[in-house]
């Protein structure tokens, strides 16, 4: 059975979580399937941006607790969590949400670089209600993405917050009407995909790693230089400068 659908539009990969009858909750086969999708995305140089969405009114309710009660934990082989949490993709990932974003589903959005949410969306971490802990990254990533008190309110009260409030706090990049999350995410993805793919990936690598590892400024200058060095010798950098001088669109080769 397939739980994850994919569609390619030019350089954009659209990934759809498709288990609406279970509120898109993850069991182990579903986690492994998503892991394979992200591995293929990483390996395909033609796919420059990915969008993660879901079928039905619930983006994702997290782990399938019925399966977990039987001892089946939704854990992928190499990426952790639901095939995304421990090692998010190195290329850009946009979440397009239109409904409930709960528990591990919210933790998946913490792995995304941008979030587009409809006004019908709510975000919540319900683990404490079941005597569980949000171990998919929320306890350490959420305080880096939100003011500490807001992050702790979500973690400790297990009460949801609206998309409007999450937008005010900067967690949501774009707030749209219901049904417009995917179109807006595609518009953003098209802008990103038009940029130099190597530069985009390196910018993400620096931003994600420096934040997650807590680089000091002194460390950042040194490590950033090592990451960017291949770009300085790339065909794409030469093409970008030539296209600017010649007032024409750049043609990227990804090398």
What local confidence, expressed as pLDDT, does residue 81 receive?
81
| Chain segment 178-200, per-residue pLDDT in tens | 999 999 999 999 999 999 999 99
| Catalytic residue status for 107 | yes
| Chain segment 81-117, per-residue pLDDT in tens | 888 899 999 999 999 999 999 999 999 999 999 999 9
What local confidence, expressed as pLDDT, does residue 76 receive?
76
Contact 61, 24 (CB under 8 A): yes
Which one is catalytic: 33, 35, 127, 184?
127
What local confidence, expressed as pLDDT, does residue 79 receive?
82
Which one is catalytic: 107, 213, 233, 239?
107
- The H-assigned helical ranges of the chain are 28-43, 65-69, 104-109, 138-145, 148-157, 163-168, 181-193, 197-213, 217-232, 235-246
Strand pairing report for 100-102 and 93-97: unpaired
User: What 3 state SS string does 242-254 have?
Assistant: HHHHHCCCCCCCC
Q: Which domains are present in the chain?
A: 4-193 (3.90.226.10), 197-246 (1.10.12)
| Chain segment 41-86, per-residue pLDDT in tens | 999 999 999 999 999 999 999 888 777 667 666 677 788 788 889 9
Contact 202, 231 (CB under 8 A): yes
| Chain segment 209-230, per-residue pLDDT in tens | 999 999 999 999 999 999 999 9
d(CA 105, CA 60) in angstroms, rounded, equals: 4
What is this structure's pTM? 0.94
What local confidence, expressed as pLDDT, does residue 64 receive?
82
């Amino acid at each position: 059975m397939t739980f994850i659908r994919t569609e390619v539009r030019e350089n954009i990969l659209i990934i759809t979580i498709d288990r609406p009858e279970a509120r898109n909750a993850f069991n182990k086969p579903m986690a492994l399937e998503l892991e394979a999708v992200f591995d293929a995305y990483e390996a395909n140089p033609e796919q420059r941006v990915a969008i993660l969405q879901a079928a039905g009114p619930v983006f994702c309710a997290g782990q399938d607790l019925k399966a977990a009660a039987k001892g089946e934990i939704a854990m992928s082989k190499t990426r952790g969590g639901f095939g995304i949490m421990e090692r998010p993709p190195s290329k850009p990932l946009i979440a397009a949400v239109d409904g409930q974003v709960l528990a591990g589903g919210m933790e998946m959005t913490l792995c995304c670089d941008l979030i587009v949410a409809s006004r019908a969306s709510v975000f919540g971490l319900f683990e404490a209600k079941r005597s569980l802990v949000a171990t998919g990254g929320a306890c350490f990533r959420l305080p880096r993405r939100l003011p500490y008190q807001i992050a702790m309110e979500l973690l400790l009260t297990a009460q949801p917050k609206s998309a409007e409030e999450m937008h005010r706090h900067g967690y949501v990049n774009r707030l749209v009407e219901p049904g417009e999350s995917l179109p807006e995410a595609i518009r953003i993805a098209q802008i990103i995909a038009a940029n130099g793919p190597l530069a985009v990936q390196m910018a993400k690598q620096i931003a994600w790693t420096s934040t997650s590892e807590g680089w000091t400024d002194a460390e950042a200058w040194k490590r950033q230089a090592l990451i960017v060095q291949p770009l300085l010798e790339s065909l794409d950098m030469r093409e970008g400068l030539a296209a600017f001088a010649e007032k024409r669109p750049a043609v990227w080769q990804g090398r």
